[in-house]
Structure 1
Amino acid sequence: MSEGSRPVVFTVIACTFFVGFGGGVVFPILPNLEAVLGISPFLVGLILSANRFTRLFANAPSGALVDRIGTRTPFIAGLFVEGVATLGYNVAIASAAPAAWFLIARVAWGVGSALVFATAYTITADVSQAESRGTSMGLVRAGITFGFPAGLVLGGIVSDEYSIAAAFAIAAAVALVASVLAYFTVPETHVEENQAGVNPWNVDRSVPALTAGLVNFGLYFSYVGVLFATLVLFLDARSVSILGYSSQGTSGFLMGITVLAGSVFMLVGGKLSDVLGARVPILIAFLVTACGGFALLADAQSASTLTVACCLIGAGQGGVGGPLLALLADLTPPDRMGRATGTNNVLGDVGGGLGPMVSLPAVKAVGFAPVYAACAIIPAVAGLVLLVGVYSHTGSLNPQVKAESVDEVGGAD
């Protein structure tokens, strides 16, 4: 990372941490809306999922917008929209139609987060040099991941000690502060003038974008979509407990372990890919780690085995994050990086949304062990997709990272 780019990357990390933090603050509260406001379980589920469903439609246009007008305005706007959307939760609490207001706020949050994710990774790709890009991407992804559990803790404490409205206000303030920080510190990094030829429906279907997106799909499907959706049921069925907690408490503890391991290895994976000068070996190593975690989970009977399995799964999916985005940036022309990021985000959200729909009926039909064993195969298939995609695009199974001068990197000076 060059001296000139370091402040920009650190600002993006801080802003994405705030976004993750704001999302975490509200998450312990929203599932309890039935008890608090009398909203039906179906509507609560719809409210919880509304932001992800919105991103399915907003990710690609957000990426195209970045390639058309640049990164600065969409990044600031996305952070601001998330802050205003969170204030909408307080409007919902006082409204006669709280479910409608919560839905509107969650849809707005989805639009804002699509803009933030598309721009954060594109800014980082623009200002980082190839030989440090993995580290930079890992740091930005880890910023979001570290912020979420911190927000979970604070959201639970503030809502218990003070009020739900106070917790929502904190989340909104954090997002709005991030938008102000971005306004004063983040320069334009992507385009020098409006690229009118880039339309919102111009989705990147290049081999690198689809390859990275399909790997992302597999990881989100198995990690977010299967593990997080079924873990509490698995613990209850196996009668496994940690420190005497119920299945809910134990699942929260184990999810926290996976998130922490993922955050740490996001940094490790990105750094290793920079030091080695190649992304593919690191990606394969962490995909194999995820395979091992799910294979261990399929036959887990004790708390210690479950803990090790969750650590491996978290480390595997986290270690892939930084190098995968860095590889995407390595293989994508700078003027298409926004759209490539949008494609990657769309496929990840599809995987995360499809996972629970498949896994919950599947565990009821065939049991947990076959489902987790199948999840152990998914990272292996993702590794094969990665190798085929990289080879078809570059003619090499292990393309080396090419060093760049500072002058070659947009925005580095």
Structure 2
Amino acid sequence: MSDSSSKSTERPVVYAVVASTFFVGFGGGVVFPILPNLGEVLGISAFLVGVILSANRWTRLVANGPAGVLVDRIGTRKPFVAGLAIEGLATFGYVIAIESAMPEGWFIVARVMWGIGSALVFATAYTITADVSEASSRGTSMGIVRAGITFGFPAGMVLGGIVSEVYSNVAAFVLAASFAGLASIIAYFIVPETHVESVDSSISPWDFETTLPALTVGLVNFGLYFAYIGVLFSTLVLYLEVESLTLSLEFAGYGIDYGEQGTSGLLMAVSALSGAVFTISGGKISDAAGARMPVLLAFLATSCAGFVVLTVAPSFGAVVVACALIGAGQGGVGGPLTALLADLTPEERMGRAMGTNNIFGDVGGGLGPLISLPFANAVGYDVLYALSAIVPLLAGVVLVAGIYSYTGSLSPTVEESVV
């Protein structure tokens, strides 16, 4: 895409992608405050709850690669719209699950559908952004898109936590499904094709990106999602219950007492909103500095600090600070990390590179609940969170080693990174 064309279309396209991913993100967040607690109500074991929570990520593990290849083969628009529509149907599947005599089966089906849809959405959203952005503004644009996804997620968590307590779990799922449907409508009428002009049948369905930059960024993504989604979000509601930490508010003489679901939803929202803010600022700082590495390492250290604070809890204030720090670290890494991947990847292979990156992230996010829930029951949450604090540090080591090996520099400038 030419410079003039790119500059004239970048922001409108980015904002259209943001709107779509924001609304569909409700369905991704609504399940987290509700489902872990439903394990006891519906008689679902902790392990099976972990399977349900991680089913979408294990599905994406298989779907991410082909989704990225599909983007490079047929373009971004059709997979993007289709992915949003599938996620909307999956969100409505939660309604069927909660009313079913076999809720665990329906929840798994819905989460598998969500995995297929989100594989298409994530592969296309970032590829669209890479296509229309310049290197000098790529970090900001990637941050804005990631923030849109991230803002939808906490909105869903607040929705799931509060609406489920005030009304019902079904009401929360129906509302989330309605917003997901709106997302696909927005995408259909606004988001254009940005990636290919015609179908390229020469691209193999299994032609994944296995270059050193893609593998390095993917491993960092693995660690972040393992600690953030796989550990923090999967265990927070149960941690609050064990430590008897819930929120009580009084306004105009009226008291509001939130249970573990409502409190965890608000805390997850604090974390995700913090992440969204720093996703935008992290990308913008990396653009202004002309280098991604210093920003990435600073935010990896922030994530580590958040888990350290969470380890020395319990107090409600400490948990709030910990969630905000972990969210800031996760978010601050997001924009510069995807921008770095785009800097180091040829445009015609960006779909495949994003597919590879998403595979690693989903392995981390999928493996996390399977390990963290039984692990916390066996040895306690303090040990779990202390070990999780090490993960961002290891990710930093991998990042420095991989980028230095590929570029010969510990902190390459944006101009040096662009291929």
TM range (shorter): 0.7 to 0.9
Deviates more, 1:191-200 or 1:204-213: 191-200
CA distance in 2, matches of 1:373, 1:229: 16
Question: Conserved in 2, the CA contact under 8 Å of 1:64 and 1:201?
Answer: yes
Written as runs of structure 1 = structure 2, the 5 A alignment for 1:181-192 is 181-192=186-197
1:54 to 59, 77, 93: 59
Letter of the structure 2 residue corresponding to residue 63 of structure 1: G
Cα gap change, 1:399 to 1:145, in 2 (>3 Å): same
Residue 330 of structure 2 aligns to a residue whose secondary structure is helix
Please say if 1:269 is aligned against 2:276. no
1:225-236 to 2 correspondences below 5 Å = 225-235=230-240
Alignment match, 1:298? 311
Pairwise CA distance, 1:157: 5.6
Contact 1:65–1:199 (CA under 8 A) maintained in structure 2? no
Deviations 1:67-113 (A, max 9, x none): 11111110011112222333444555676766544443332221111
Matching residue of 2:69? 64
Residue 200 (structure 2) pairs with residue 195 (structure 1): yes
Q: Aligned pair 1:124/2:147, yes or no? A: no
Q: Are 1:350 and 2:363 counterparts? A: yes
Identity between Structure 1 and Structure 2 (%)? 65
**Which residue pairs with 1:73 in the alignment?**
78
1:219–1:162 CA distance, 2 compared to 1 (3 A): closer
Call closer, same or farther: CA 1:403–1:185 in 2, change over 3 Å: farther
Q: CA deviation at 1:202?
A: 1.7
Paired with 1:241 and 1:176, the residues of 2 have a C-alpha distance of 33
How much does 1:290 deviate? 1.4
Alignment partner, residue 107 of structure 1: 112
Q: Tell me, yes or no, if the aligned pair for 1:269 and 1:320 is still in contact at 8 Å.
A: yes
Matches within 5 A, 1:277-292: 277-292=290-305
Decide whether the 8 Å contact of 1:266 with 1:322 is kept in 2.
yes
Confirm or deny that 1:14 pairs with 2:19: yes
Q: Which residue of 2 aligns with 1:320?
A: 333
**TM score, norm. by length of structure 2:** 0.86
Deviation at 1:50, TM superposition (A): 2.7
CA distance in 1, matches of 2:376, 2:172: 35
Q: 2:394 corresponds to which residue? A: 381
- Cα distance between partner residues in 2 of 1:258 and 1:387: 26
CA distances 1:102-144 after superposition (whole Å, capped 9, x unpaired): 4433322211111001100110111111111111111111111
TM-score normalised per structure 1: 0.87
Query: Taking structure 1 as reference, are residues 229 and 43 closer, same or farther at Cα in structure 2, changes over 3 Å only?
Result: closer
Q: Distance in 2 between matches of 1:219 and 1:334?
A: 25
Question: Is 1:70–1:191's contact at 8 Å kept on the other side of the alignment?
Answer: yes
Structure 2: distance between partners of 1:168 and 1:213: 32
Distance apart, 1:307 and its partner CA: 2.8
Cα separation, 2, equivalents of 1:358 and 1:265: 28
State how far apart, in whole Å, the 2-side matches of 1:91 and 1:396 are: 53
Residue identity matched to 1:20 = G
Cα gap change, 1:307 to 1:403, in 2 (>3 Å): same
Match in the other structure for 1:211: 216
Residue matched to 2:252 = none
**For residues 124 and 111 of structure 1, do their structure 2 counterparts lie closer, same or farther at Cα, with a shift above 3 Å needed?**
same
| Cα displacement (A) at 1:150 | 1.8
More divergent stretch after superposition (226-235 vs 53-62): 226-235
Distance 1:373 1:122, change over 3 A: same
Name the CA shift for 1:403/1:7 in 2 (closer, same or farther; >3 Å).
Answer: farther
- Structure 1 segments unaligned to the other structure (5+ residues): none
Shift of the 229–180 alpha-carbon distance from structure 1 to 2, 3 Å rule, reads closer
User: 1:130 is paired with a residue of what secondary structure?
Assistant: coil
CA deviation profile, 1:302-359 (whole Å, cap 9, x unmatched) = 3333332322221111100110000000001111111111111111111112223333
* CA-CA distance at 1:205 after TM superposition: 1.0
* 1:90 to 1:332, Cα distance in 2 relative to 1, 3 A: same
Provide Cα deviations, 1:361-393, integer angstroms capped at 9, x if missing partner.
444555444433322222111111111111111
Tell me, in whole angstroms, the C-alpha distance in 1 between the residues paired with 2:122 and 2:31.
Answer: 19
Q: Tell me: CA distance 1:233–1:124, structure 2 relative to 1, closer, same or farther (3 Å).
A: same
Q: Which runs of 5+ in 2 are unaligned?
A: 1-5, 249-256
Indicate which of 407, 411, 419 corresponds to 1:394: 407
Contact in 2 for aligned 1:51/1:110 (Cα 8 Å): yes
Query: Aligned pair 1:359/2:364, yes or no?
Result: no
Mapping for residues 137-176 of structure 1, pairs under 5 Å: 137-155=142-160, 167-176=172-181
- Deviation track 1:278-316 (CA, whole Å, cap 9, x = no partner) reads 111100111111122222332335333333232222111
Contact 2:285 2:295 in 1 (8 A): yes
Q: Is the 8 A contact 2:54 2:369 kept in 1?
A: no
* Stretch moving more, 153-162 or 310-319: 153-162
Relative to 1, partners in 2 of residues 1:307 and 1:39: Cα closer, same or farther, differing over 3 Å?
Answer: closer
Partner SS for 2:9: coil
Give the 3 Å change call, closer, same or farther, for CA 219–40 of structure 1 in structure 2.
closer
Query: Which residue in the other structure is 2:321 paired with?
Result: 308
Deviation of residue 152 (structure 1)?
3.2
Spell out, residue by residue over 1:40-75, the C-alpha distance to the aligned partner (whole angstroms, 9 max, x if none).
557665444332221111111111111111111100
